[in-house]
Amino acid sequence: MRRLAGSAVLILALTTGCGDADDEDTTTGATPNAAVVSAAASAAAGNVTGGTRDVMNAANAFLASLGDTERAGVLGERTTANLSQWSNLPDQLFKRAGLRMDALSAEQQGAVRKILQAALSSDGYAQLTGITTGDGVLKDSGGMDLGFGADHYWIRILGTPSESEIWTIQYGGHHLAVNLTIKGDVMTMAPTLWGAQPASYTTGGTTVAPLRGETDAAFAVMDALDDKQRDAAVLDTAITEIVLGAQQDGKTLADEGVPVSTFTEKQKELLMALITEWISPLTPTQAQSRIELAEDNLDKTWFAWSGDTTEGRPVYYRVQGPSLIIEFAHQQGQGANAGGVTHIHSIYREPGNDYGAELS
Amino acid sequence: MLSAPAQSPASAHPLDEVLQQVYLTPAATTLDVQVDVVAGAMVAPGFARSLDTDGDRRLSAAETTAHDARVRAALAVATDGAPAELVVTGSVYPPYDLLAAGGGVITVRAGAPLSASAGAFAVTDGYVADQKTRIQMSVLVAADAGRSASSVRRGHEGRAIAVGLARDAAPAAAGTEATPGEGTGTAMLEALREPLGSPWALVALIGVCALLGALHALTPGHGKAMLAAYLVGSRGTPRQAVALGAVVTVTHTGSVLLLGAAVLAAGHYVMPSVLVPGLKVVTGVVVLVLGVRILRRRLAGAGRRSYGDGRGHAHERFDADERFGVDEAGVDDRRSRGEIPSRPDELVVAHRAGGPYLLQERTRPAPVPAGGGRRELAAMGAAGGLIPCPEALGVLILAAGLNRTALGLAMIVAFSAGLGAVLIGLGLILVTARDRFTDVRPGPLLWRLPIFSAALVVVLGVVMTVSGALGMTGA
């Protein structure tokens, strides 16, 4: 029953089509409803993708559009050092490698977007562009400029795009680090950092909140817990920042919070909806198996919470199980660029499977 | 909407604070500590200046070392309630300019001993920068450590954490409740999981197991105090020391095999947590009975000796004379060479006893009567080896679980042999040293040493019996 419900959520969220290359400029928001509307429209257009072959073809097309120097700059070996060279920090505070979008031609930028559209669901791509567009909003708002903006995102390919060998696409910059590792017809996005600042903004008359779904679904879980479960879920002292962020590869957190094994069926469905939010950036083909894996491991999964229990206040939550670790920290700061509850750091990892370690 | 009282608000953004993330990993035999310090962009300039004590906008080795010491001094670690020594093992610092801009992470690594049998640890962190400072301590899971956190409690705004430890499910699934031992046992368990590349690797593994057994014998336990007390109390000979060690080895190996086989065959009914305390009780009673027997014999012997009863000492005197090869004149010669004490009171005692009894008593221990001695020795050796090492038991059970039972058996035999070799060696050293000791330091305390040792055997027997009984009742 729960699996059927989870699948239904997944189908609604993921039967998506990729928008065309101009989507980044016409983002309509990544709220759950917006995502579903977008997904439905895309599905109706028959644009469903998700095969890793499509991703490989898109990557090769992008590489073919580059000159030798550019190609050498964007390609790298799949070494531990290269794989871990990402951060949530802006460019002045962290040295990235690869090619930055603002250094590419419009055609090359379009080729990069096609890679991302092939690798991600419509929901995932909308989330990504919502974050990058938001960084432009942040830059335009003034304050400290430490090297960020909508076009300050880097593409890098580690390994050689291949039908059989393992290879990784990295796309990231300020508040974003997407690591997509592919081997054969399997793809993982662990680890991927999703951030947002501002957490919500308005552009073209539309409110965009790239991580609203991950916020609302978590509050729904917390709201459904009884007092005893909530007491167990809430951590003793405040956690304000994600624990397994950049440079913390290969780590596995000890179980904390409330065990999901104590949840009712309804509570488990709500948690699966939250987990689906986190996995839905993958294409339906890739997401389905991971959602089923998470569902199979629900009784070994834990849910932890820190901070207020009303929306609009700083919160931190964690979902951890054998197949995934999710951390989400919505922070409140002071000073330039950091007023109000408007700044999110979050991470998705799979224990033991950073950069597809289990695929190697 | 939720009505629960709000937790302490997560109010600060890393931009305006120094954040110290502390990663605590209970590994196989250590607590690994990683401290990451990040200064938010708004406070980073001041934080960087606080480290750059000479103001040259570079972080020298002296300055980073000083900060390492600050980080270390702020941390206090306790395992099972006892303070543990934390040692810094390395650190990495970003360039000064990057740190001052709010980029880069300072990483300090440290480690503290955490025995495989530890049930809990606690850490407090008093690190304070000049800027607003927040501490986040987190517990990680180490791959193949065989244990992980069973409970995590935090306090003092994240500056204190108490972690309960539990063995991982893998060994339990194999049907044992035996705890992994100190480092040696864990090393064997890890080695058991590794494939053997060649016959030489097997030879090396067996050798390493023997060495681990030898090292393990030097850790507390294994009845060393009891065996030592017995050897002294019974005035054991080198041959008896060897025999005792051998019996302990054989018994220990046998008990591991038998208990391991029982657990594997009927894990639901044979619980090591009950059996081991039961064996302790049996051992304690055996030791207690033997201790009482030896004590009674020693007390009787002491009574005869104290009042100068020469009966039964002819053999001793013969041995003494034979050993030294001297008569009264010869004794005088040795005294003149300093080999025999020349204190007037000793001479008086000797003459008062009607002969060099004092000299004879201290130079030749009375042998244990042959028949009863063998039985005593066998019983004491069996008692010493009856309680199996949890780590050896774990190796056997894991070996069966991994379908490598033969290898596990070989490892246990090697482990027990190494352990026995050390016990034999210690026994030989003990009886030899005792003889040398008695050559040069005679006196009332010395000749009462066997009595004290026999009494110690009795006490140890009582302690083991009570301990085993408490273990059985779960107290």
CA distance B251 to chain A (A): 40
The mean pLDDT of B204-219, rounded to a whole number, is 76
| Residue A21, CA distances (Å) to A25, A107, A117, A118, A332 in order | 9, 10, 9, 11, 34
Q: Using DSSP bridges, classify how beta strands A201-203 and A206-208 pair: parallel, antiparallel or unpaired.
A: antiparallel
DSSP assignments along B339-398, one per residue: SS---HHHHHHHHHTTSSHHHHHHHSPPPPPHHHHHHHHHHHHHHHHHS--HHHHHHHHH
B280 and B135 co-located in one domain: no
Write the pLDDT tens digit of every residue in A304-325: 999 988 877 889 999 999 999 9
Write the pLDDT tens digit of every residue in B104-116: 999 999 999 999 8
B373-380, Cβ contacts within 8 angstroms, sequence gap of 24 or more:
B373/B234, B373/B240, B376/B234, B376/B290, B376/B293, B376/B294, B377/B234, B377/B236, B377/B240, B377/B243, B377/B244, B377/B247, B378/B247, B379/B286, B379/B290, B380/B226, B380/B227, B380/B230, B380/B244, B380/B247, B380/B286, B380/B287, B380/B290
Question: Are residues A222 and B8, on separate chains, in Cβ contact within 8 Å?
Answer: no
Question: Are residues A238 and B9, on separate chains, in Cβ contact within 8 Å?
Answer: yes
B19 and B141 co-located in one domain: yes
Residue A252: what residue type? T
Find the closest chain B residue to A251 by CA distance. Answer: B140
A241, two tokens: 């920042």
What per-residue confidence (pLDDT) applies to A12? 43
pLDDT beyond 60 at B271: no
Q: Look-up: residue for tokens 């257009």?
A: A45
Q: B275: pLDDT confidence band, cut at 50, 70 and 90?
A: low
Interface pTM (ipTM) of the complex?
Answer: 0.86
User: Is position B408 within any domain?
Assistant: yes
Backbone dihedral angles phi then psi of residue B45, each to the nearest 5 degrees: -60, -45
Q: B197: pLDDT confidence band, cut at 50, 70 and 90?
A: low
User: Is B15 within 8 Å of chain A by CB?
Assistant: yes
B274 and B418 co-located in one domain: yes
User: Is position B344 within any domain?
Assistant: no
Nearest-CA neighbor of B209 among B385, B378, B399?
A: B399
Run of H or E including B137: strand B133-139
Q: What single-letter DSSP state applies at residue B40?
A: -
Question: Are A283 and A180 a contacting pair, CB within 8 Å?
Answer: no
Question: Are residues B10 and A332, on separate chains, in Cβ contact within 8 Å?
Answer: yes
Q: Look at chain B and report how many structural domains it folds into.
A: 2
CA distance B67 to chain A (A): 21
pLDDT beyond 90 at A14: no
Q: Give the relative orientation of helices A265-279 and A284-296 as an angle to the nearest 10 degrees.
A: 150
The mean pLDDT of B199-215, rounded to a whole number, is 78
CA–CA separation, B439 vs B339, rounded Å? 8
B162 and B193 co-located in one domain: no
B201 and B150 co-located in one domain: no
Domain end, chosen from B110, B136, B167, is at B167
Whether the pTM exceeds 0.80: the reply is no
Nearest-CA neighbor of B384 among B270, B246, B208, B200?
A: B246
Question: Are A245 and A88 a contacting pair, CB within 8 Å?
Answer: yes
- Least-confidence region, from A4-13, A63-72, A221-230, B232-241: A4-13
Q: A351: pLDDT confidence band, cut at 50, 70 and 90?
A: very high
Write the pLDDT tens digit of every residue in B428-465: 887 777 666 555 555 666 666 667 777 877 887 787 77
Domain end, chosen from B112, B133, B167, is at B167
CA–CA separation, A125 vs A23, rounded Å? 9
pLDDT beyond 50 at B373: yes
SS3 content of chain A, % helix, strand, coil (to 5): 40, 20, 35
Which residues on A lie below 8 Å from B104 (Cβ)?
A: 93
Nearest-CA neighbor of B419 among B285, B251, B257?
A: B251
Report the range out of B57-66, B225-234, B300-309, B448-457 with the highest average pLDDT.
B57-66
- Least-confidence region, from A270-284, B72-86, B124-138, B314-328: B314-328
Q: B9: pLDDT confidence band, cut at 50, 70 and 90?
A: very low
What per-residue confidence (pLDDT) applies to B175? 32
The mean pLDDT of B381-395, rounded to a whole number, is 67
Question: To the nearest whole number, what is the mean pLDDT of chain A?
Answer: 86
3-state secondary structure of B106: strand
B97 and B203 co-located in one domain: no
Residue that wins the pLDDT comparison between A191 and B383: A191
B57 and B148 co-located in one domain: yes
B426, two tokens: 């210690």
Question: Are B397 and B175 a contacting pair, CB within 8 Å?
Answer: yes
Domain end, chosen from B103, B137, B167, is at B167
The mean pLDDT of A67-86, rounded to a whole number, is 97
B187 and B40 co-located in one domain: no
What per-residue confidence (pLDDT) applies to B407? 76
User: Is position B343 within any domain?
Assistant: no
What per-residue confidence (pLDDT) applies to B85? 94
CA–CA separation, A221 vs B62, rounded Å? 50
DSSP assignments along A137-172, one per residue: HHHHT-S--SS--TT--EEEEES---SSS-EEEEEE
CA distance B165 to chain A (A): 11
Q: B250: pLDDT confidence band, cut at 50, 70 and 90?
A: confident
Question: Are residues B103 and A230, on separate chains, in Cβ contact within 8 Å?
Answer: no
Mutate to test the interface with A, among B7, B154, B165, B168 (most CBs of A within 10 A): B7
Report the range out of B129-133, B232-236, B461-465 with the highest average pLDDT.
B129-133
- Least-confidence region, from A203-207, B185-189, B335-339, B448-452: B335-339
CA–CA separation, A329 vs B14, rounded Å? 11
Q: Look-up: residue for tokens 């040259």?
A: B56
Question: Are residues A333 and B153, on separate chains, in Cβ contact within 8 Å?
Answer: no
B21 and B82 co-located in one domain: yes
The mean pLDDT of B201-225, rounded to a whole number, is 73
Question: Are residues B12 and A333, on separate chains, in Cβ contact within 8 Å?
Answer: yes
pLDDT beyond 80 at A152: yes
Q: Using DSSP bridges, classify how beta strands B18-26 and B30-39 pair: parallel, antiparallel or unpaired.
A: antiparallel
Half-sphere exposure of B41 (CA within 13 A, CB side): 16
Which residues, including other chains, have CB under 8 Å from residue B249's CB and lie 6 or more apart? Answer: B385, B416, B417, B419, B420, B423
The mean pLDDT of A220-227, rounded to a whole number, is 97
Question: Are residues B11 and A253, on separate chains, in Cβ contact within 8 Å?
Answer: no
Listed by start position, the domains of chain A span 2-191, 212-356
Cis bond before residue B171 (omega within 30° of 0): no
Question: Are residues A332 and B13, on separate chains, in Cβ contact within 8 Å?
Answer: yes
User: Is position B175 within any domain?
Assistant: no
pLDDT beyond 80 at A326: yes
Question: Are residues B139 and A331, on separate chains, in Cβ contact within 8 Å?
Answer: no
What per-residue confidence (pLDDT) applies to A356? 96
Nearest neighbour of A238 by CB, restricted to B8, B42, B138? B8
B80 and B192 co-located in one domain: no
CA distance B388 to chain A (A): 32
User: Is position B63 within any domain?
Assistant: yes
Question: Are B133 and B37 a contacting pair, CB within 8 Å?
Answer: no
B279 and B394 co-located in one domain: yes
Domain that includes residue B294, residue range: 183-303+366-473
B97 and B234 co-located in one domain: no
User: Is B8 within 8 Å of chain A by CB?
Assistant: yes
What per-residue confidence (pLDDT) applies to B260? 67
Write the pLDDT tens digit of every residue in A179-214: 999 999 999 999 999 999 888 899 889 999 999 999
Nearest-CA neighbor of B316 among B353, B350, B363?
A: B363
B164, two tokens: 């309960």
Nearest-CA neighbor of B84 among B19, B29, B2?
A: B29
CA angle A135, A136, A139 (to 5 degrees): 90
Q: B281: pLDDT confidence band, cut at 50, 70 and 90?
A: confident
The mean pLDDT of A42-62, rounded to a whole number, is 72
